[in-house]
Amino acid sequence: MDFDKIEKTARYKRRALNTLIYVFLGIWALIVLFPFYWMVLTSLKSYGSYNAEWIPKLFTLDLTLENYFSAFTAVPLAKYFLNTVIFTLGTTALMLAVTVLAAFAFSRLEFRGKNLAFTLFLSLMMIPGELVVITNYVTATNLELRNTFTGLILPSVASVFYIYLLKENFSQIPDELYYAAKVDGTGDLKYLFKVMIPICKPTIITVTILKVIECWNSYVWPRLVTDEQAYFLVSNGIQEIRENGFGRDNIPAMMAAVVVISVPLIILFLIFRRRIMAGVARGGMKG
Amino acid sequence: MKNNNLKGWLYLLPAILFLGAFLVYPLIDVLIYSFEESFNFASQSSTGIGGFNYSYVLHDPYFLKALRNTFILVAVTVPLSTMIALFISVALSSVKKLRELFQTVYFLPYVTNTLAVGLVFMILFKQTPYSDGLINVILGVFGMSPVDFIGGPYWAKMLVLCVYTVWIVMPFKILILTGSLASVDNTYYNAAKVDGTSRFRVFRRITLPMISPTLFYLIITGFIGAFKAYSDAVALFGTQLNAAEMNTIVGYIYDMLYGSSGGYPSYASAAAIILFCIVLTITCINLLVSKKHVHYS
């Protein structure tokens, strides 16, 4: 009889604790999601009704799409968007080529000085970007690469971490495969493209997505190297819009631009959720 | 074999070119810049070698203000975010239902554009002639008088910056901590269960020591990241950070380099080297402290 009672209180306690945990998790989820909800909601309010709300309404059915029209017409948002796509594609494609070749050399080829070179490469990971950006800015200015895509893309290409990540993956492919291909007379490049890349596709996709996210959000270098609106990326674009875009108080239009900028990455994230999270867990860092 | 040597380096060549031009050379160059006195951008010449740039930067009131802001930001956000992340991760690991959903939601800020979402935070906190802003309305319910968090008193601006920074760094910390919690061997917990150990004691005696290397890794990367804070501040207060009194060390470096106050790569270099030394020192202190407290199995 006492035993029943004890079990009952234990169960009751466990349930109470569980509820508490879910409430806590729910509150944090709310804190994370609320800014997103707020930006979508605000972007759908009309200019007049937004400014008429002394106490902002948490929910309204009086919605309009006019802000999205003005986001694309009043400011060159489409241009910023296109620039970012060009920048992202160019940087990512170059990064992949450089990374795959280097990872192949480190994982498969034997040559003098390989270990020393790899150690030096790894030590480069410790160099903070803030240090090198100064000289890069001077270099870009001297070579007259300011306000060009070349100037935007080239310094953003190399990434030691991705070389390391891919090298680790390449190294897991058994040597026998390589020797078999050699016996068949397959060249190194052909082996790389026909065997290694297909096998390591998951890692390559992960690296690609991480780089795309990095490019899409990059702000510091694009800001330094571009001062003509025609070459602004979305990050600089949103800053420009904020400072002298729609007129300072047209917040709904501003939020529409923010939604447009944020949506591509959120879609990408929802599609490749597991890959992105696994990739970041393996050593990705913000910035 | 000789042929192979050449081939290996040939495959490495693109990487070496890119890294050399944009990472190694700048690193050496920035050191040189920082010691060249009164460097002239137009003529690319300097009057001599010495420590003047450093002394200028260290006596610049804007730099000191940026230094102070950065230290406050680091001191507030690193412990706070690590602690909240630990709570959330432990809570997340103790439930099964909806766990994936929560994990996905919590990771969302990581993939968003810092500047774009920063604008949302700005309008939530900002007081305008038309509205006090949502946060002020909520605080009003608790009887607080409205404050302009974006253009108002220093403490209010610092508070928003800290809140936004915590919000932004949380996804990474939660992801890493939940991964680490999941990898703790279940036999330890089962043994504790047999002994009837209380939940709190299990956490203190088993979980915490087992995840201490991860926790420590997060603290180090947290320190490094917070010292480099910049775009969060720009997102909230705009590009004129000195005027907003909200500049950070990195912001100071870029202001010296570029924009209306720019054109001084020597000062920027000196400030960057100072930042690097601060981060290095803090990381070394962290490593020394960790030797005592972190349990590596």
Do B110 and A255 make contact, defined as CB atoms within 8 angstroms?
A: no
Go through B251-265 and write b for each residue having 16 or more CB atoms within 10 A of its CB, e for each that does not.
bbbbbbbbeeebebb
CATH code of the domain containing A178: 1.10.3720.10
Residue A287 — pLDDT band, cuts 50, 70, 90? very low
Residues in chain A within 8 Å Cβ distance of B29: 135, 138
> Where a domain ends, among A33, A49, A67?
A67
DSSP-derived letter for residue A46 is -
Q: Which helix (H) or strand (E) segment is B37 a member of?
A: strand B36-37
3-state secondary structure of B40: strand
Q: What pTM value is reported for the model? A: 0.89
Nearest to B181 by CA among B81, B109, B110, B99: B99
> Which pLDDT does position B3 carry in this prediction?
64
The answer to whether the CB atoms of A158 and B22 lie below 8 A apart is yes
Instruction: Tell me if B69 sits within 8 A of B247, measured CB to CB.
Output: yes
What does the pLDDT read at residue B62? 93
Is the residue at A72 inside a domain? no
User: Are both A128 and A221 inside the same structural domain?
Assistant: yes
Mark which residues 50-79 of B lie under 8 Å from A by CB.
none
Q: How many angstroms separate the CA of residue A270 from the nearest CA in chain B?
A: 8
What is residue A231's DSSP assignment?
Answer: G
Q: What ipTM describes this predicted complex?
A: 0.88
> Given this model, what pLDDT does residue A248 score?
58
Note whether residue A10 is domain-resident. yes
3-state secondary structure of B48: strand
Residues A17 and A116 reside in one and the same domain: no
- The Cα A235–Cα A258 span in angstroms is 10
Q: With contact defined as beta carbons under 8 Å apart, do B275 and B262 qualify?
A: no
Task: Give the total number of structural domains in chain A.
Answer: 2
- Taking the Cβ of residue A42 and every Cβ of chain B, the question of whether any pair is shorter than 8 Å is answered with yes
**What value does the mean pLDDT take over residues A70-89?**
90
Does the pLDDT value for residue A104 go beyond 60? yes
Residue A130 burial by Cβ neighbours in a 10 Å radius (0-12, 13-18, 19+): buried
d(CA A162, CA A283): 10
pLDDT of A61 = 77
Whether A39 has its CB under 8 Å from any CB of chain B: the answer is yes
Three-state DSSP at B260 gives coil
Domains of chain B: 1-50 (no CATH), 61-293 (1.10.3720.10)
Q: What b/e string do you get for B137-148 counting C-beta neighbours within 10 Å, with b at 16 or more?
A: eebeeeeeeebb
* Residue range of the domain that includes A62: 2-67
pLDDT less than 70: residues of chain B? 1-3, 38-47, 259, 296-297
Q: Does residue A158 share a domain with residue A35?
A: no
Q: Which of A24, A49, A67 is the last residue of a domain?
A: A67
Same domain? For A57 and A85 the reply is no
**Per-residue pLDDT tens for B91-136?**
999 888 889 999 999 999 999 888 889 999 998 998 877 778 888 8
Task: Reply yes or no on whether the pLDDT at A286 is more than 50.
Answer: no
Domain end among A44, A67, A90: A67
Three-class SS state of B49: strand
Q: How far apart are CA A239 and CA A243, in angstroms?
A: 6
- If asked whether residues A131 and A10 sit together in one domain, one would say no
